A = this chain, B = another copy of it.
Amino acid sequence: MTDLLWPGDDRAGDLFTDAAVLTAMVTVEQAWLSALVEAGIAPPEARASLTGLLTPSDADDIAAGAEAGGNPVIPLVGLLRGRLGPGAAASRWLHRGLTSQDVLDTALMLCLRDTVDRIRDELRAQAAALAGLTDRHRATVMSGRTLTQHAVPVAFGLKAATWLAGLLDAAEDLEAVGVRLPVQLGGAAGTLAGPVQLARLARARAPERTALELTDHLAAALRLRPAPPWHTTRTTVTRAGDALVRCTDAYGRIGNDVLTLSRPEIGELAEPARTGRGGSSTMPQKVNPVLSVLLRRAALVAPGLGGQLHLAAAEARDERPDGAWHAEWSALRLLARRTAVAASQATELLAGLQVDADRMRATAEAAAPELLAEARSLAELSGDPAAAPTDVGGYLGSTDLLVDAVLERAASYLKGAG
């Protein structure tokens, strides 16, 4: 899967592709079938491997068949049963006790986990790169700009520190999401009636409890968290969405600053040099800040996708929703892939960001009269006009301490995440 209209999409690789979702759904069915056999609910002869039953060319058929029931699980189960052989025990026992939402929700969690893992790696790399920039440039003076105009001097290291703080916030939330991802197992209407009935038919002693043990078993097999059914309680999805948007929020802020500061009239930052990057189809001289452009693109798009997940959560109804659930899948996938692409681009941008410290200082010095106006007014207030700094480097406030604090936070994060 490549998305011609989302340049850089290939950076997300196979995360959440149709193939990945399909594989994840088969993984869920496999784990469930094995769980039924191991719990003594399905007979031993129902044990079977689903590996290799599907071929890539099945994806289109399953996609096409998804409309009839409103989701891709129904045609998938049909196909798997056919391949297992209509009379086979495995065929009869496959999917028993589940509802399609159990399979799809759990499969989406598996895909989401892969995405979260990927983005966490990127966040670590970004935090390391930014910690370096922050420390290295803690004394690199530049114009601090507010509402686009010269304000007071800042250090580029402190700007980098605020970028870093945003990343650490996002990482914090994404870590929490990663450990929380739950299995979905509720049966037709979230009561586990199917699994309980199967356990009862198998003469389990406490079938109601057996069904919950199956949840634990399934969760363990898939390395997810056991959880009560959440067919209509979509907090997991909105929390994941919010954490992903928090990442693109952080990238957007960085991208916007790089776009501004790499304008030729400012020229304080430049994207990593790479042959062929940033070219134009007609202007040979062009070196566009493409990574930042593409980060900004993601940041403009992600909040809307996050909002769609909330809307889908809010519009749940009955025991399983009549459209809101269906609106969620594609938004979650898009948000996951868009964020993964942005994360990868952000890592590359930050790892190679070029800082022109000389130009920063030169601009700040030329703007010293403006940048030190506040300092002068405070000195006058204290009746000591001569106490105002005359050098832009002399009015950096608590920059060093602020930088230290963020670096400490980053170090703790990088150690913990290691």
Q: Are B396 and A191 in contact (CB under 8 A)?
A: yes
A87 smallest CB distance to B (angstroms):
13
Q: Is the CB of A301 within 8 A of B331?
A: yes
Q: Which of B22, B166, B301, B323 contacts A233 (CB 8 A)?
A: B166
A63 at the interface (CB under 8 A from B): yes
A246 within 8 A of partner (CB): yes
Task: Write out, one digit per residue, whether chain A residues 285-321 have a CB within 8 A of any chain B CB (1) or not (0).
Answer: 1111110111111111111111110111111111111
Selected from B297, B302, B326, the residue in CB contact (under 8 A) with A294 is B326
Q: A144 interface residue, CB < 8 Å from B?
A: yes
Interface pairs (16), CB distance under 8 Å: A10-B60, A10-B63, A68-B278, A147-B293, A147-B320, A149-B287, A151-B188, A151-B189, A195-B397, A201-B382, A208-B397, A238-B249, A260-B263, A292-B322, A300-B308, A300-B315
The distance in angstroms between the C-alpha atoms of A22 and B285, with both chains bound, is: 26
Could you tell me the distance between the alpha carbons of A232 and B251 in the complex, rounded to whole angstroms? 12
Within residues 200 to 258 of chain A, which ones have a CB less than 8 A from any CB in chain B?
200-202, 208-209, 211-212, 228-235, 238-239, 242, 245-246, 248-249, 251-253, 255-257
Contacts of A284 in B (CB 8 A): 373-374, 377
Mark A40-83 against chain B: 1 for CB-CB distance below 8 A, else 0: 00000000000000000001101110111111111001000000
**Given A249-B238, A281-B98: A5 and B208 within 8 A (CB)?**
no
A210 to chain B, nearest CB (A): 9
Contact present for A147 and B67 (CB under 8 Å): no
Q: How many copies does the complex hold?
A: 4
Contacts A18-B4, A194-B397 given; indicate if A306 touches B308 (C-beta within 8 A). no
User: Is B264 a contact partner of A191 (Cβ separation < 8 A)?
Assistant: no
Given known A7-B67, A68-B290, contact A283–B147 (CB-CB < 8 A):
no
- Given A93-B381, A150-B264, A162-B230, 18 more pairs with CB closer than 8 A: A4-B18, A4-B63, A7-B72, A8-B66, A70-B288, A96-B378, A100-B281, A148-B289, A148-B318, A209-B401, A252-B316, A256-B316, A283-B373, A289-B322, A294-B323, A296-B324, A303-B311, A311-B311
Contact A303/B308 with A69-B280, A188-B151, A265-B265 known, Cβ cut-off 8 Å:
yes
Write out the residue numbers on chain B whose beta carbons fall within 8 Å of the beta carbon of A4: 18, 21-22, 59, 62-63, 66, 72
Point out which of A73, A169, A263 has the most chain B C-beta atoms below 10 A from its C-beta: A263
Q: Are A187 and B326 in contact (CB under 8 A)?
A: no
Complex CA gap A269/B167 in Å reads 35
Q: Name the B residues within 8 Å of A278 (CB-CB).
A: 68-70
Task: Give min CB distance, A254 to chain B, whole Å.
Answer: 10
Render A393-418 as a binary contact track against B, CB cut-off 8 A, 1 for contact: 00111111110011000000000000
Q: Indicate if A31 sits at the interface (CB-CB under 8 A).
A: no
Give the CA-CA distance A169 to B234 in the complex, in Å: 10
CB contacts (< 8 Å) of A190 on chain B: these are: 144, 154, 158, 162
Q: Does A367 contact B (CB under 8 A)?
A: yes
Say how far A23's CB is from chain B's closest CB, in angstroms. Answer: 11
Decide: A201 near B379, CB < 8 A? Known: A294-B67, A330-B3: yes
Asked if B246 and A232 sit within 8 Å, CB to CB, the answer is no
A145 on the interface (CB 8 Å rule)? yes
Query: Beyond A69-B278, A96-B381, A280-B69, is A159–B395 a contact (Cβ under 8 Å)?
Result: no
Asked if A313 contacts B253 (CB within 8 A), the reply is: yes
A293 to B166, CA, bound (A): 23
Complex-state Cα separation, A378 to B196, whole angstroms: 11
A130 to B61, CA, bound (A): 32
For A299, list chain B residues within 8 Å (CB): 314-315, 323
Tell me whether A301 and B308 are in contact (CB under 8 A): yes
Given contacts A74-B281, A397-B192, A323 and B296 within 8 Å (CB-CB): yes
Question: Which residues from chain B contact A238 at a C-beta distance below 8 Å?
Answer: 242, 245-246, 249
Question: Ordered nearest first, which 5 A-B pairs have the shortest CB separation?
Answer: A296-B323, A252-B314, A144-B189, A193-B397, A191-B397
